[in-house]
Each structure stands twice: as structure tokens, then as C-alpha cells.
Structure 1
Amino acid sequence: MSPDRFLSPSPTSLKICGVTLADDALRLVELGVDALGANFWPHSKRYLAPERAGFLKEFEGRILRVGVFVNADLKLPAKLVREGLIDVVQLHGDETPDDVVRLKEAGIPVIKALGVRALADLQRAHEFQADSILLDAHAPGVYGGTGETIDWTLARRFVEENPGLPVILAGGITPDNVAAAIAAVRPAALDVASGAEESPGIKDFAKVEALLAACGE
């Protein structure tokens, strides 16, 4: 799965975030999930320490591997890309447009996450010149993974007003609301963490299969 294919508008791609176990990553590959996310922010409930992330290398070319970072020294994501552990960097903190530029100049695809409370939160999206914008619930100090939904009406408006910018929808997506989320927003991809878990960092594959089925409809 290439970044371009993952971010193409149809069908809706699925990224399962917060992967911490090699067995879970393998099962995602076997099910045909488009992308996995590994969270390298030490304060996350789904933290994967870089020294424990070696298992990601064996999935190169089999699933898109996204590394999630929050206000990190950019040397870390660049290092993990060089080592073949991740393909794409997701900046989920208070990073600047310059941070995105530095990574892209190094040839690294970048997803920039924005916490959304109101339309004003979306006005800076184009400043980042990222490959994709991820819309998530506003969660100061937590930076995602809360299970809270965002205003899908705002998200749909952003998608419609930015047809050339791939949008990933996150925030409180579950098997119960995934079909409604896709219909309401029409994102390029969905990003799901808590809605695909037994507990933080441990995946529930009945939920994953339900999410995947909805994306294929």
C-alpha cells in the first residue's frame, strides 16, 4: 500500500492506530487493512517505544506503516523512516509548517493532524502543505485517542471546500457509527484507535472486521 493509494478518495481507506504488538500487526495485514499506526509519543496509552518497534520492519510493503509523533525532535521520525520501520510520519501535536517542510524535504510523506472544535481550527490547514490533513477531536494535552467524535458537518464542509487535499477522519469512530461517518464526511480514509480495541493498544478483530467491511461498501 503506497501513501498515494491510501489517500485516494475511493474507496475509503482504513488505518488502525495504536498498534503495539507484532501479532496484531500481522492480523491487520492478513485482513487487508490499508494502514497501521504506531504511536511513538511516550505519554500515550498506546505508546510503542522505538526500541520495541523492530517488528514493524517485517511488514514493509505489506501494509502502510504510519508513525505517530507529538512534538518530537524530528530526528526521531527521520531515523525510523531510514531504518525501514515506518513509511509515513503523522504529526499529532503542536508542530509548525516548518516542521512539515523539513520532513518533506527529506522525502518523507507527512500527515498533519488538527484538533477540531470549530471552523476556525481548520483555517490553518493549508499552511502546513502536508500530504494529508487528519481531522480529530480537540484534546489539549491528550492529542487524540479519546474516543470523542468531531462535528462531521464541519468535516464534510472542509472536504468539499478542499477537493485536492486528502482528508483523514478520526475521533470516536466505531463499528456502530462508521457507515454514518463515511456517508456524512466522505473522507479519503478513516483513522481508528479506541474503536478497534479490547483495551488501549490491544486490538479487537471483530471490530476491525466490521470497520473494514463498512469501508468496502
Structure 2
Amino acid sequence: MILLSNNAPPKLRVARPTPSTVSFTVSTRPVADTVPKKALLYFSHAIRLGLGVLILALFWAKWRSYFPIRNEDPESWERRLLTNYVGVCVAWAAEGIDWKVLGGVGAVGLWGVLRRGYTVAEESLLVLRGLGVQTSSSSPTYLSTATTRFIPTASIQDIFIHEAFKGFEVRFYLAIVVVGEEDTVVVFPNLLPERQILEEVWRGTRACLYEPKS
């Protein structure tokens, strides 16, 4: 469910929470900076939440059709839910759907609900002077956390911008050479922003990472 466009090129955000820390974030996440966009974003979240609750309710009602509530428990919360108007409608709908169809379609629906409404949203590079850098890539779903890696300053041999073929085009990338590793660590490996952004990140990283010489 993509209600906000995510076709815009990656944009760079720079934050400096302290004089010795700088964060470079490249993002394709749509920015809700106007009232209509904010309303559309909230509406999207509401639709996702409602659809997820409906799918789980159908699963639960279908399960209860095979394993009914015991008669000796007349005041259970499940019985109260199943006997109100909404519960009766959900139970009726679940009863008319084959469990295989419900399981397959429901699983796909839940996957769509839990998946973010845009592609790779954010990748970042956090630079801590005298300590090292941390790379991070956001997760495609709401249930999993971002993928991160910390590289100490002592393990950083070099930071450079290079170019490589991706399909039939040449793309620039920012890479970190780590001592003792054959492969370089590519920063922003999924978004691969334009060279101008990479150059700004490269200059800012080198300026912040190492202590200034007195």
C-alpha cells in the first residue's frame, strides 16, 4: 500500500547532535510536509491498522469455528466478542471462507500490512570522532530492526569514492576499507545516491572522524 510517492531520488539529511558527532542519512521516504500529505499518511496508517485487525479477527473466528468456546464459560471475553454485532458478522464471513483460502490470502494481506509503504527508506552513516563509524539500513518491515554495523577508527584503513557497473549503468559508491577484510564496506549500498551526495558525505566523514591536528 503506497499512498505517498517514493519515486523521488535519494535525499541527504545531515545532523550534528554534538561537535564530535555527525549523522548522514540518505532517504527516499516521502516527507509529509503539508496538511494534505499528513492527512494521507494518517489515513494510510489507519487503513493498514484496520486491515490487519480484520485479518486477525477472521483467523480467530475461523479457529473458534473448529474449537468452540466451552459452554461452562458463558462470560468469557471471547464469547462477548463473538455474540455482538461485529463479532457475528466476522464469524459469518469466516465461516463462508475455506481455511486454505483464508490462510493464504490472510498471510499475504498481513505481509502487505507489515511491509513499509515504500522501498528502501533510509540508510545512514553515523560518525563518532575518535571512536568510529556506524552504518545502518532500515528494515523493509515494521517487525524487524535496522541492519547496523560499527567499525572502530583503528580498523578503518581508508574511505574513498569509486565507481562500478550496476546493470548497464555506471554508479558511484562510497566505500570503507577495513583492516583485515578482503571486501570493502559499501555505505548506502541499496540507495547508491548521486556523486554529489557521496562527496559531501566523504568530506564530512573524514573531517569529523579524525581528531584535528593542533
Rg comparison, structure with higher value: 2
Give the TM interval when normalised to the shorter protein.
under 0.3
Would you tell me which structure has more strand in proportion to its own residues?
Answer: 2
Q: TM-score, normalised by structure 2?
A: 0.24
TM-score of the superposition, structure 1-length normalised?
A: 0.24
